[in-house]
Structure 1
Amino acid sequence: MRVILALASAVCLAAAQGGAQAQQSAAAPAAVAPGSVLTLSDAWRAALQNDPTYQAAISEREAGQTNRAMGRAGLLPQVSAALGRNKIRGTLDSPTAFGGVTTTDLDYMSKTNEIRATQSVFNWSRIAEYRQSNARADYSLAVFDTRSKDTAVRLINRYFQTLLSYENVVLSQSYLEANEKQILAARRRFDSGEGTITDVRETSSRRDLARADLIQAQDALVVARRELQEMVGSAPSAIVGLQSGFKTRPLDPATLEGWLSAAMSNNAEIRAGIEGLRISEREIDRTFGGHLPTLDIVASRRLVENETISTRDQDSNTTSFGVQISLPIFSGGLTSAQVEQARHNRDRAAQELAATRERIAVEVTRQYQAVVSGAERIAALVVAVESSAAALTAVERGYQAGTRSIVDILDAQDQLYRSRLELTKARLQYVLARLMLAGAAGTLDAAAIDTVTDAYFDGGRAPVNIDQKLVPVVARK
Structure 2
Amino acid sequence: MLVGHSMKKQTSMLTSSVAVNRRTPRSSMKISALAVLVAGALTSYGALAESVSLSELYQQSLDNNPALKSAALAIDSATYGADKVGAAYLPQVDANLAYGVLRNSYTTLNEIDTNAAQASISVGQNLYNAELNAANELSNQQVELSQVSHQVALESLALQVVVGYFNALKAQESLKQTKATQEAIEEQLKQTERQFSLGMIPENDVIDARAQFDLVSASVIVAENEVEKSLDALYELSGNEFSSVYPLNTDRYDANIPTPENALTWQEKAQQFNPEMQIQKQLVELSKQQIELAQAGHQPSLGLVAEYRYTFASEIRRTEMGQSKQQFNSIDDNSTVFAGVAMTLPVYRGGATSNEVQQAKVQYQQALQLQEQSWRSVTRQIRGAEKDLNALISAQQAYANSVHSAERSLVATQQGFEIGSRTIVDVLNGTRQLYAAKQDLTEAQIDFILVSLQLKFLGGELLPEDISAINAGLKR
Same topology, TM > 0.5: yes
Distance in structure 2 (CA, Å) of the matches to 1:327 and 1:307: 38
SS in 2 for 1:234: coil
Distance in structure 2 (CA, Å) of the matches to 1:91 and 1:371: 92
SS in 2 for 1:247: coil
Shift of 1:213: 0.5
**1:419 counterpart residue number:** 437
> CA 1:69–1:445 in structure 2 vs 1: closer, same or farther (change >3 Å)?
farther
Indicate yes or no: 2:80 matched with 1:72: no
Distance in structure 1 (CA, Å) of the matches to 2:262 and 2:423: 51
Shift of 1:223: 2.4
Shift of 1:202: 1.0
Distance in structure 2 (CA, Å) of the matches to 1:181 and 1:206: 12
Structure 1: unaligned runs, 5 residues or longer = 1-5, 12-34, 462-477
Among 446, 454, 457, the residue aligned to 2:474: 457
Q: Which amino acid aligns with 1:354?
A: E
Q: Which amino acid aligns with 1:208?
A: D
Among 279, 283, 302, the residue aligned to 2:286: 279
Shift of 1:170: 1.6
Q: Which amino acid aligns with 1:453?
A: N
Q: Which amino acid aligns with 2:245?
A: I
**2:305 counterpart residue number:** 298
> CA 1:345–1:104 in structure 2 vs 1: closer, same or farther (change >3 Å)?
closer
**2:332 counterpart residue number:** 314
Among 59, 65, 84, the residue aligned to 1:51: 65
Q: How does 1:156-171 map to 2 (within 5 A)?
A: 156-171=162-177
Indicate yes or no: 2:183 matched with 1:183: no
CA deviation string 1:298-341 (max 9, x = no partner):
22233222568499622233333221112222222222121111
**2:362 counterpart residue number:** 344
SS in 2 for 1:279: helix
More moved, 201-210 vs 424-433? 424-433
> CA 1:307–1:434 in structure 2 vs 1: closer, same or farther (change >3 Å)?
farther
**2:153 counterpart residue number:** 147
Q: Which amino acid aligns with 2:239?
A: G
Distance in structure 1 (CA, Å) of the matches to 2:331 and 2:441: 99
More moved, 300-309 vs 350-359? 300-309
Q: Which amino acid aligns with 2:250?
A: S
Q: How does 1:249-288 map to 2 (within 5 A)?
A: 249-253=256-260, 258-288=265-295
CA deviation string 1:363-400 (max 9, x = no partner):
22222322332222222212211221121112112222
Q: Which has the larger radius of gyration?
A: 2
Q: Is the 8 A contact 1:155 1:231 kept in 2?
A: yes
Indicate yes or no: 2:140 matched with 1:134: yes
Q: Is the 8 A contact 1:74 1:130 kept in 2?
A: no
**1:30 counterpart residue number:** none
**2:446 counterpart residue number:** 428
> CA 1:316–1:105 in structure 2 vs 1: closer, same or farther (change >3 Å)?
closer
Shift of 1:176: 0.9
Distance in structure 2 (CA, Å) of the matches to 1:46 and 1:348: 39
Structure number with the higher helix fraction is 2
> CA 1:195–1:265 in structure 2 vs 1: closer, same or farther (change >3 Å)?
same
Among 364, 384, 390, the residue aligned to 2:382: 364
Per the normalisation by structure 1, the TM-score is 0.80
Distance in structure 2 (CA, Å) of the matches to 1:433 and 1:357: 19
Distance in structure 2 (CA, Å) of the matches to 1:375 and 1:202: 38
Q: Which amino acid aligns with 1:170?
A: K
Distance in structure 2 (CA, Å) of the matches to 1:93 and 1:314: 25
CA deviation string 1:71-115 (max 9, x = no partner):
3223333222222234x49899999xxx9x7x9987x5x332222
Shift of 1:172: 1.4
> CA 1:329–1:308 in structure 2 vs 1: closer, same or farther (change >3 Å)?
farther
RMSD: 2.9
Q: Is the 8 A contact 1:168 1:217 kept in 2?
A: yes
**1:334 counterpart residue number:** 352
Distance in structure 2 (CA, Å) of the matches to 1:267 and 1:379: 32
Q: Which amino acid aligns with 1:314?
A: D
Distance in structure 2 (CA, Å) of the matches to 1:426 and 1:357: 28
SS in 1 for 2:52: coil
Shift of 1:165: 2.0
Q: Is the 8 A contact 1:267 1:442 kept in 2?
A: yes
**2:53 counterpart residue number:** 39
Shift of 1:280: 1.2
Q: Which amino acid aligns with 2:213?
A: R
SS in 2 for 1:74: helix
Q: Which amino acid aligns with 1:47?
A: S
Distance in structure 1 (CA, Å) of the matches to 2:330 and 2:443: 92
> CA 1:304–1:379 in structure 2 vs 1: closer, same or farther (change >3 Å)?
farther
**1:404 counterpart residue number:** 422
Q: Which amino acid aligns with 1:289?
A: A
Shift of 1:344: 1.0
Distance in structure 2 (CA, Å) of the matches to 1:269 and 1:307: 68
CA deviation string 1:416-443 (max 9, x = no partner):
1111111121122111112212222223
Shift of 1:237: 5.3
Structure 2: unaligned runs, 5 residues or longer = 1-43, 318-328
Q: Which amino acid aligns with 1:438?
A: K
Q: Is the 8 A contact 2:257 2:452 kept in 1?
A: no
Among 243, 250, 255, the residue aligned to 1:248: 255
Q: Which amino acid aligns with 1:383?
A: N
Distance in structure 2 (CA, Å) of the matches to 1:402 and 1:66: 83
**1:119 counterpart residue number:** 125
Q: Is the 8 A contact 2:315 2:331 kept in 1?
A: no
> CA 1:294–1:184 in structure 2 vs 1: closer, same or farther (change >3 Å)?
same
Fraction of identical pairs, as percent: 24
Q: Is the 8 A contact 2:271 2:277 kept in 1?
A: yes
**1:465 counterpart residue number:** none
Among 355, 375, 395, the residue aligned to 1:377: 395
SS in 1 for 2:119: strand
